[in-house]
Chains A and B, each alone.
Chain A
Amino acid sequence: MFKKLTALFLCLIMVFSLAACQGKTETESKSGVDSGEQAVEPKKEAIRLATTTSVNDSGLLGYLLPYFKEDTGYDVEVASAGTGIAIGYAKSGDADVLLVHSKAQEEDFIAEGFSSTERLSFMYNFFVICGPSDDPADIAEAENAAEAFRKIAAAGSAFVSRGDNSGTHDKEKNIWESAGTTPDKTAEWYVSVGSGMGDTLNKANELKAYVITDKATYLSMKQSLPNIQILKADADDMKNTYSLLGVNPDAAAFEGTGAAINSDGANAFIEWMHSGEAVDLISDYGISAYGEQLFYVIEK
Chain B
Amino acid sequence: MEYIKQAIHLFLSGDKELLQIVRTTLTMSVFSTVISSVIGLPIGVALGRAEFKGKGIILRITNTLMGLPPVAAGLIVFMLFRSVGPLGSFRIMFSVRIMVVAQVLLITPVIMGLAASASNVKAKSLTETAKGIGIRPTGQIYLLMRECAPQFVGIMLVGFGRSIAEVGAVSLVGGNIQFKTRVMTTAILLETNKGNFDTAIALTMLLLLISLVVNTLAYPYWRK
Residues on A close to B: CB < 8 A?
81-82, 84-85, 87-89, 91, 163-165, 185-186, 191-195, 203, 206-207
Which residues of chain B have C-beta atoms less than 8 A from A185's C-beta? 178-179
CB contact between A193 and one of B177, B195, B196 (< 8 Å): that residue: B177
Interface CB pairs A-B, < 8 A, 28: A82-B193, A84-B193, A84-B194, A84-B195, A84-B196, A85-B192, A85-B193, A85-B194, A87-B195, A88-B194, A88-B197, A89-B195, A164-B190, A164-B193, A164-B194, A165-B194, A165-B195, A165-B196, A186-B179, A193-B175, A194-B177, A194-B182, A194-B193, A195-B175, A195-B176, A195-B190, A206-B94, A207-B94
Q: How far is the CB of B40 from chain A (nearest CB, A)?
A: 29
Of chain B, the residue at the smallest CB distance from A196 is B193
Q: Are A91 and B195 in contact (CB under 8 A)?
A: yes
Q: How far is the CB of B199 from chain A (nearest CB, A)?
A: 11
Which residues of chain A have C-beta atoms less than 8 A from B190's C-beta? 163-164, 194-195
Which residues of chain B have C-beta atoms less than 8 A from A193's C-beta? 175-178
Q: How far is the CA of A185 from the CA of B176 in the complex (A)?
A: 13
Which residues of chain B have C-beta atoms less than 8 A from A164's C-beta? 190, 193-194
The size of the chain B interface, using a CB distance under 8 A, is 19
Q: How far is the CB of B6 from chain A (nearest CB, A)?
A: 18
Which residues of chain A have C-beta atoms less than 8 A from B177's C-beta? 191-194
CB contact between A192 and one of B179, B192, B194, B197 (< 8 Å): that residue: B179
Per-residue A-contact encoding for B24-41, CB less than 8 Å = 1, 0 else:
000000000000000000
Q: How far is the CB of B59 from chain A (nearest CB, A)?
A: 16
Is B180 located at the chain interface by the 8 A CB criterion?
yes
Per-residue A-contact encoding for B157-199, CB less than 8 Å = 1, 0 else:
0000000000000000001111110100010001011111100
Contact residues of B between 183 and 224, Cβ < 8 Å to A? 186, 190, 192-197
Is B97 located at the chain interface by the 8 A CB criterion?
no
Q: How far is the CB of B71 from chain A (nearest CB, A)?
A: 13
Q: How far is the CB of B8 from chain A (nearest CB, A)?
A: 24
Q: Are A206 and B83 in contact (CB under 8 A)?
A: yes
The 6 lowest CB-CB distance pairs between A and B, nearest first, are: A88-B195, A192-B178, A194-B190, A165-B194, A84-B194, A84-B195
CB contact between B186 and one of A88, A191, A194 (< 8 Å): that residue: A194
Is B93 located at the chain interface by the 8 A CB criterion?
yes
Of chain B, the residue at the smallest CB distance from A105 is B195
Q: How far is the CB of A156 from chain B (nearest CB, A)?
A: 16
Interface centre among B82, B194, B197 (most CB of A within 10 A): B194
Prevailing SS type, chain B contact patch: loop
Interface centre among B83, B178, B196 (most CB of A within 10 A): B178
Of chain A, the residue at the smallest CB distance from B16 is A186
Q: How far is the CA of A279 from the CA of B190 in the complex (A)?
A: 34
Q: How far is the CA of A195 from the CA of B194 in the complex (A)?
A: 10
Q: Are B176 and A194 in contact (CB under 8 A)?
A: yes
Q: How far is the CA of A108 from the CA of B178 in the complex (A)?
A: 26
Q: How far is the CA of A84 from the CA of B94 in the complex (A)?
A: 25
Which residues of chain B have C-beta atoms less than 8 A from A91's C-beta? 195
Which residues of chain B have C-beta atoms less than 8 A from A192's C-beta? 177-179
A81 and B93 in contact, given A191-B177, A194-B176 (Cβ under 8 angstroms): no
Q: How far is the CB of A6 from chain B (nearest CB, A)?
A: 14
Per-residue A-contact encoding for B8-52, CB less than 8 Å = 1, 0 else:
000000000000000000000000000000000000000000000
Which residues of chain B have C-beta atoms less than 8 A from A203's C-beta? 94, 175
Q: How far is the CB of A171 from chain B (nearest CB, A)?
A: 16
Q: How far is the CA of A203 from the CA of B94 in the complex (A)?
A: 9
Q: Are B193 and A81 in contact (CB under 8 A)?
A: yes
Q: How far is the CB of B95 from chain A (nearest CB, A)?
A: 11
Which residues of chain A have C-beta atoms less than 8 A from B197's C-beta? 88
Q: How far is the CB of B130 from chain A (nearest CB, A)?
A: 34
Q: Are B93 and A206 in contact (CB under 8 A)?
A: yes
Q: How far is the CA of A165 from the CA of B191 in the complex (A)?
A: 9
Q: How far is the CA of A81 from the CA of B195 in the complex (A)?
A: 10
Q: Are B178 and A163 in contact (CB under 8 A)?
A: yes
Given contacts A185-B178, A194-B176, A195-B190, 11 further A-B pairs with CB under 8 A are A85-B195, A87-B195, A89-B195, A165-B194, A185-B179, A191-B180, A192-B177, A193-B175, A193-B176, A193-B178, A207-B93
Which residues of chain A have C-beta atoms less than 8 A from B83's C-beta? 206
Q: How far is the CB of A232 from chain B (nearest CB, A)?
A: 24
Q: How far is the CA of A283 from the CA of B178 in the complex (A)?
A: 38
Of chain B, the residue at the smallest CB distance from A91 is B195
Q: How far is the CA of A192 from the CA of B175 in the complex (A)?
A: 9
Per-residue A-contact encoding for B52-74, CB less than 8 Å = 1, 0 else:
00000000000000000000000
Which residues of chain A have C-beta atoms less than 8 A from B93's C-beta? 206-207
Contact residues of B between 130 and 178, Cβ < 8 Å to A? 175-178
Which residues of chain A have C-beta atoms less than 8 A from B196's C-beta? 84, 165
